[in-house]
Amino acid sequence: MAFREFTSTAERVYDEWIKNADPRTEGWLLMASPLPQSLMIVCYIYFVLSLGPRLMENRKPFELKRILVVYNFGVVALSLHMCYEFVMAGWGTGYSFHCDLVDYSMSPQGVRMLEVCWLYYFSKFIEMLDTIFFVLRKKNSQVTFLHVFHHAIMPFTWWFGVKFSAGGLGTFHALLNCIVHVIMYTYYGLSALGPRYHRFLWWKKHLTSIQLIQFVMITGHIGQYFFMDCPYQFPIFVYIIGLYGVLFLVLFLNFWYHAYTKGKRLPKILQKKNQVQNGNGAHHSKDD
């Protein structure tokens, strides 16, 4: 009886809450309810943390070289497209980088921003393949808490962003993330091409620097909200983005410390240099 009352109350709360959703998303893929995406995220976590490693335990790792090249440069192309769309939908055509509100109208600009927000949301499911490829290649050391948490939380939170607040100041971090992904997946694509290209990848360490700069900019931009009079339609997303920026800044700083200050994730050419300088012949690197 108590459970039935609880579910009934939850349904009423959900019905009241969903009334404030953007009606333009009605009928869009994955937009009817957060349940389908939640199941997809749970399946992703279960596969990369449990089922996948068990299936691969007594198997040889898959190489997937051609697939990785196509996938990584495909994500580069998609990220470039989203950069262009975010710029043309607002960030280069009228947004002030201060108090930018959501345009809920059916105007070309408003709809264009909604469409690129949905595409960005959907791209987060495509990027889950990063982890699946790690598992299939038995690169289990790269399936870290930071990696899995990042890939799981992004699509979940962005469903709500698209459903309620697709545009305005809450999308600046998406534009920055697309720019970072152009650089990052270019690196991954070059790495997947083979050892003869690895000598051009000395800038691996700077990928984390770029990500750190990204989160500083996200936190700084969204933090303006607390110092200006801005009638942003859904302030809850300001708090979520601010928390996201600070949380990932801390997590990536922690990653930086363990990966590069201690030298565990440096490119091989830099590892060898450090070993010579430190007089240490042993190292614990792994192939990219």
Is 150 assigned a catalytic role?
Answer: yes
Contact 256, 208 (CB under 8 A): yes
- Of these residues, 81, 147, 150, 221, which one is catalytic? 150
Contact 120, 174 (CB under 8 A): yes
Contact 176, 214 (CB under 8 A): yes
Three-class DSSP labels, the chain: CHHHHHHHHHHHHHHHHHCCCCHHHCCCCCCCCCHHHHHHHHHHHHHHHHHHHHHHCCCCCCCCHHHHHHHHHHHHHHHHHHHHHHHHHHHCCCCCCCCCCCCCCCCHHHHHHHHHHHHHHHHHHHCCHHHHHHHHCCCHHHCCHHHHHHHHHHHHHHHHHHHHCCCHHHHHHHHHHHHHHHHHHHHHHHHHCCHHHHHHCCCHHHHHHHHHHHHHHHHHHHHHHHHCCCCCCCHHHHHHHHHHHHHHHHHHHHHHHHHHHCCCCCCHHHHHHHHHHHCCCCCCCCCC
The catalytic residues are 150
